[in-house]
Structure 1
Amino acid sequence: MHEKRWRSYAMTVNGLPQKIRYNADTVEGLFLPLLRRLTEMQRKAGCRILVFLAAPPATGKSTLLQFLEELTRIHAVLTPAQALGMDGFHYLNSYLAAHTILRDGAEIPLKNIKGAPETFDVALLAEKLRAAKKGVTAFPVYDRRIHDPRLDALTVDAPILLVEGNWLLLDEEPWCNLHALADYTLRIDVSPELLRDRLIARKVQGGLSVKDARAFYERSDAPNVLRFAAHAGAADEVWRMEADGDFVRG
């Protein structure tokens, strides 16, 4: 078997300096060809294009898109891209605390399922995506220091907009109405078992005990992982995430 050539990159992700790694062959054989196709698509269209990346939790979506954005800076032949996250369209915590949803016969606060499709302002997301198609606009950004969105915090102006989120290709109302706004769509699939291990490990690294991390996964993460697997929706291109974090064409 061909030995993978991992390379490390220093980047700022969600406002924090991080060291990330990608397989050099994946960068050359998967990431750059995607950006070349998008460059050709944007130049042929002669206007801004929107690209959706839908992937479940713990797949490194935001890191991946920021890395793709950086690649368009490094390679001058590529059209500049800008990475955008869907998390800025979470309802404010005050809204989540004041509203409820019926789950399994019980009425629970939306704050208890933060991250589920029902906890996002899909109407605002659609409005901002339409505005971005027409010209320069402002997007909200999720601030992990206050655990709330900051409205109109980011100027959106690149020729290629890379938008990531769990639910962008969801085949349920009202999310499925967004699909027509995308010029190209990419979905990353991962086995639920692999995601379970990654999400539990992430919580343990954050300070939870293994027992509490497993309980949190079953209560909060598992429903989202399974919902994505069942309702992620079709995409123009599909990648698969492997156990070592590498990506291959699905």
Structure 2
Amino acid sequence: MTEYTVQINGLKVSARYSERAVNEIFVPLLEKLTAMQRAAGRRILVLLAAPPGAGKSTLVSFLEKLSRERPGLCPVQAVGMDGFHRRQEYLLTHSTVRDGMEIRMVEIKGAPVTFDLEKLASAIRQVRSGETCGWPVYDRLLHNPVEDAITVDGDIVLLEGNYLLLDEEGWRDLSANADYTVSVSAGETLLRKRLIERKILTGVAEDAAVRFVDFSDMPNVRLCLEESRPADLRLLVGEDGDYRIISPLSGS
């Protein structure tokens, strides 16, 4: 097992990846992306979509590290879509409708409506154009994005997020900018457990964390699992936390 610890959105996160997953999934993926970038002769954009709690932010950070350590690979630059959360002040003062009831957006923070889709789409197009540009990150302790925290200048940019392959108006257009797509799925029970643990790490009491996850996060989990478009490479996280290939599509 490979142990990996990193700061994600202001929190310390640890993950364990099996040698099988590293050597049979992750390294071959990086080799494929390297070959694609060299053949294209320009920056390529890869989208990795996964439901909340699937470990996507940690995974792309690990892939970035792996790409810089293994000889012959083009370094990957990992970024996330969480920096496109609408600001907390906005979410506290704006409402939306869920199940026929009007609620404040902050109560379902993390749902698609709580992201600035137009801003995200514009940033994706800028990255795809090959420009060097700023990129925001989300800080869970500040509860807000930090603008231009990253400078995007890599030849392979790996963007992760919950809804990058969501089959809904506006969202489905994002993948038109991608050179390659990856999806990660997992069982609802595993995702719920991880999400509750993550919420507690931000200082929320356990009972409040459970209520928030069941009301806010789990509908987003189901949306991602049920309403996302197929990716070029589809991965599954098992109950043991290990990664497996569900099915690579033709040509992947």
Deviation of residue 229 (structure 1)? 1.5
Deviation of residue 145 (structure 1)? 2.9
Partner of 2:249: none
Equivalent of residue 77 in structure 1, options 63, 72, 78: 72
Equivalent of residue 148 in structure 2, options 113, 129, 152: 152
Alpha-carbon distance in structure 2 between the residues aligned to 1:189 and 1:9: 20
* Residues 1:234 and 1:132: Cα distance change in structure 2 (over 3 Å): same
> Deviation digits for residues 53-95 of structure 1, max 9, x if unmatched?
1001111111110110011110131011111011000111111
Partner of 2:45: 50
Q: Is residue 185 from structure 1 mapped to residue 181 from structure 2 by the alignment?
A: yes
Partner of 2:194: 198
TM-score by length of 2: 0.91
> Deviation digits for residues 206-225 of structure 1, max 9, x if unmatched?
56555444322221111111
Q: Is residue 112 from structure 1 mapped to residue 112 from structure 2 by the alignment?
A: no
* Residues 1:232 and 1:147: Cα distance change in structure 2 (over 3 Å): same
> Deviation digits for residues 171-208 of structure 1, max 9, x if unmatched?
00110111101110000111212222332344456565
Match of 1:104, as an amino acid? D
Deviation of residue 158 (structure 1)? 0.4
Root mean square deviation of aligned Cα: 1.8
Match of 2:158, as an amino acid? L
Equivalent of residue 120 in structure 2, options 110, 122, 125: 125
* Residues 1:206 and 1:42: Cα distance change in structure 2 (over 3 Å): same
Assess if the C-alpha contact under 8 Å between 2:43 and 2:156 holds in 1. Answer: yes
Aligned counterparts, 1:10-89, within 5 A: 10-14=5-9, 18-89=13-84
Q: Which runs of 5+ in 1 are unaligned?
A: 1-5
> Deviation digits for residues 95-150 of structure 1, max 9, x if unmatched?
11222111122111111111000011111111111111221111111122311011
Equivalent of residue 171 in structure 1, options 164, 167, 172: 167
Number of residue pairs aligned between Structure 1 and Structure 2: 245
Greater mean alpha carbon deviation, residues 101-110 or residues 30-39? 101-110
Partner of 1:162: 158
Deviation of residue 40 (structure 1)? 0.4
SS at 1:188 equivalent: strand
SS at 2:231 equivalent: coil
Q: What is the percentage of aligned positions where both structures have the same residue?
A: 48
